Amino acid sequence: MAAVVFLIAYSVEVIGDLDDAAAVIPEALMIVTWAVFLVDYSVNLVLAERRGRWFLTHLFDLAIVVLPILRPLRLLRLVTLLTILQRTAGTALRGRIIIYVVGASVLLVYVAALAVLDAERGQGGSIQNLQEGLWWAFVTITTVGYGDYYPITATGQIVAVGIMVGGITLIGVVTATFASWIVEKVDAHSVRQQAATRGQVEELREEIRALRELLAGSGAP
């Protein structure tokens, strides 16, 4: 819920291009959500049975909490939304994994569009509104890269690197899921064939047994 609130507040601030006075409420909401993430991290660290190991294995969660203090990196808080989706689909069925991938893709495109627009607007670049940001994010995550829109600021380029890496990762998940589905179908077909073959063998055995009994009953040698 905190991540969703942050996304809404950040969207209002960026899309509305609010000045300092009008952005007070969205900024306050984003600070509150950051505090929630900080409390969540701290509680998990305190409750962990092996705190040292938990700390070392959750450095990414630490980065989500610490780095967004810097304005250019505050979008890292939105990664929490992806984390929530992953918790839901982590050990679930393949269908839920597909839902996670689709949801993560849409979220990644939207977040990247907001981030690059926040960084590029008023800097003389080609991305100056949300539509251009969405188009840039979509062609970038799909590795098409027409080049009609591109970031010129350092923050925008960092966002570009993030969405490219995220796009490659999501494509890998889709490919792996599709491949596992094919393997599963092939295995299921092989199992059915083996079951059919075993059934035929059993039928032949029954017929042979019946013939032997018939021959034995007729007294044939």
Binned at pLDDT 50, 70 and 90, residue 191 comes out as: low
Express as a percent the part of the chain with pLDDT over 70. 74
Query: What span, in angstroms and rounded, lies between the C-alpha atoms of 75 and 67?
Result: 9
User: Which amino acid would we find at residue 193?
Assistant: Q
Q: Mention every residue, 6+ apart, whose C-beta is less than 8 A from residue 165.
A: none
Q: pTM value?
A: 0.62
List of domains in the chain: 1-89 (no CATH), 93-221 (1.10.287.70)
User: What digits encode the pLDDT tens for the residues 27-81?
Assistant: 888 888 888 888 888 998 899 888 888 888 887 777 767 765 544 455 555 555 5
